[in-house]
Chain A
Amino acid sequence: MNCNQIHEITPLYLTGELRGEPLQEFNGHIAECRACADNVDSDRQLDDALRSALGDEMPDASAVVARVRQQMDGDMRSRHVPWRLSHLGWAKAGFAFAAALVLAIATFGLLSGYWHEKAMALAAADDHFSDLVLNRHSDWLVKPADMAAFLQQQFPQHAGLLPLITPERASLEKVRLCRLKQATYAHLVFKTGEVETSVFLIDNPRRSPDYQAAHLRSVEHDLEVSGFSASDLSGIVVGQRGVVPTTRIARQLGEKLSL
């Protein structure tokens, strides 16, 4: 290891994460090299100074904890409420989301026949939140070759699918399989800058969910959901409200896939 390499891995040394051979090499180098030894010492002293200057300043979180406890109790008490509503996962947004969906459905005059679509939209939003905000899953495929193989495997009859399902100015970030209401969907996450858009894609099963580009939204949690159906694929687009134009994306994907 040369001095530059030592410099690069000094942070790992300081957090105690260097082990085995790299650690031996590191120790060997700083035993011989005065400059690097001084740098490591200086970093360590700096960290100590920082800890003693700021480390004791632990803010008092008891008020927050009390508020959280109260809300948790509220959650527990409200469990006689139909569970789909009371356990929606993300706080007050649950009711608002359900209310917004009901409103959207009423607005679109879709009073019957879209129960399934609503449930799927809810499940998709739930999964998007769980995956991208809470980061609950670690089984994502992220390498381009792996993602291409995944698409090929999941949608064998759709060669060249990726460009057709990629929203404008976005690129595929990661993919995994997920289950939404007993149906297996490919969950594709696209990135445009820092903004993530989920596309849930499924081969049209026999009982095809015929998604309309109806725009459903979660008022408080700021998620919106739009569906699309093409001849033999259906999909759901989820993104942050006002940031990701899900309706436009869903319409465009539906059109591209129908060509």
Chain B
Amino acid sequence: MGTGECGTLLAHELSMREDRTFEFESVAFPHAAGLLRYALHLAGEPARAEDLVQETLLAAWRSFHQFERGTNCRAWLFRILKNLHICQIRRNPARAEISLEIDDSGLSAPEKVTAGHEVREAFSHLTPEHREVLQLATLDGFAIGEIAAILEIPAGTVASRLNRARQALRSRLQKRATAGEKNT
């Protein structure tokens, strides 16, 4: 991108905006649910997660004229969300300490014993960093390079963190399985 774009968020033809609105809605809104899931992971509380997504989409919309067509909109949105979240954490460090336990209260008894539940439970006990890379890679389907860009860390770090995250998840599940066998 040329230097001319810098600092010119403001100088933009108004007539172009309607078209861009439509374009923005069609490229950005489909990612809202994915963004919300990531925000829930980062922020914990649903209300804060929704605010974070709202802030992200508005920030993206207001600088959408700087967005280069053909580049990865979804990764761009996730990166904005991550950065806004970091800004909030710096502003209010207490927010960093959020419990991310999965709420099981809505599940009926039989569902609680399914394998899916065990995986969810084991996942919820991973460190935030491990959950984050697994979520981005496995659930959101981002490439290692995209995750590196979202988190602003080297791709090698993403790969080794993923390896450690999978290892941690596996050993949690194995421990649970062994404990289960002993109990029966």
In the complex, which residues of chain B have a beta carbon less than 8 angstroms from the beta carbon of A161? none
**Contact string against A for B residues 117-141, beta-carbon threshold 8 Å, 1 for contact and 0 otherwise:** 1011001000000000011011101
Q: Is A17 interfacial (CB 8 A cutoff)? A: yes
Instruction: Indicate with 1 or 0, residue by residue over B62-77, a CB within 8 angstroms of chain A CB atoms.
Output: 1100100000000010
> Are the C-beta atoms of B123 and A53 separated by less than 8 Å?
yes
State whether the Cβ of B95 lies closer than 8 Å to any Cβ in chain A: no
Interface hit among A106-114, A176-184, A205-213: A176-184
Cβ of A138 within 8 Å of any chain B Cβ, yes or no, is yes
Residues of B at the A interface (CB closer than 8 Å) are 1, 3-10, 12, 14, 17-18, 21, 24-25, 29, 32-37, 40, 46, 50, 53-55, 57-63, 66, 76, 79-80, 83-84, 86-87, 90-91, 115-117, 119-120, 123, 134-135, 137-139, 141-145, 149, 152, 158-160, 162-163, 166, 169-170, 173
* Residue pair B63, A89 in contact (C-beta under 8 Å): yes
- Of A20-28, A55-63, A146-154, A225-233, the one contacting chain B is A55-63
Q: Is the CB of A12 within 8 A of B80?
A: no
Whether A50 lies near B144 (C-beta < 8 A) is: no
Q: Is the CB of B7 within 8 A of A179?
A: yes
Main DSSP-derived SS at the B contact region = helix
CB distance from A246 to the nearest CB of B (A): 15
Other A-B pairs beyond A17-B144, A71-B54, A130-B66, 6, CB < 8 Å: A46-B166, A46-B173, A83-B10, A84-B10, A89-B63, A240-B90
Taking CB atoms, residues of chain B closer than 8 Å to A170 are: none
Interface size of A by CB at 8 A reads: 71
Compute how far the CA of A59 lies from the CA of B38 in the bound complex, rounded to whole angstroms: 10
State the 9 A-B residue pairs at the shortest beta-carbon distance, nearest first.
A178-B6, A61-B32, A53-B119, A53-B116, A123-B7, A89-B9, A11-B162, A127-B7, A11-B159
The contact sample of 30 A-B pairs, CB cut-off 8 A, is A12-B144, A42-B170, A46-B166, A46-B173, A49-B115, A50-B134, A51-B138, A53-B119, A54-B119, A55-B139, A57-B37, A61-B33, A64-B32, A71-B58, A83-B10, A88-B9, A88-B10, A89-B62, A91-B55, A123-B7, A127-B6, A130-B66, A133-B59, A133-B84, A135-B83, A179-B3, A180-B7, A194-B90, A222-B87, A242-B91
Q: Give complex CA distance A17, B156 in Å.
A: 13
Binding site for B on A (CB under 8 A): 7-12, 14-17, 42-43, 46-47, 49-55, 57-61, 63-65, 67-69, 71-72, 75-76, 79, 83-84, 87-91, 123-124, 126-127, 130, 132-139, 176-181, 184, 187, 194-195, 222, 240, 242-243
- Residues of A near B50 (CB, < 8 A) are 61, 63-64
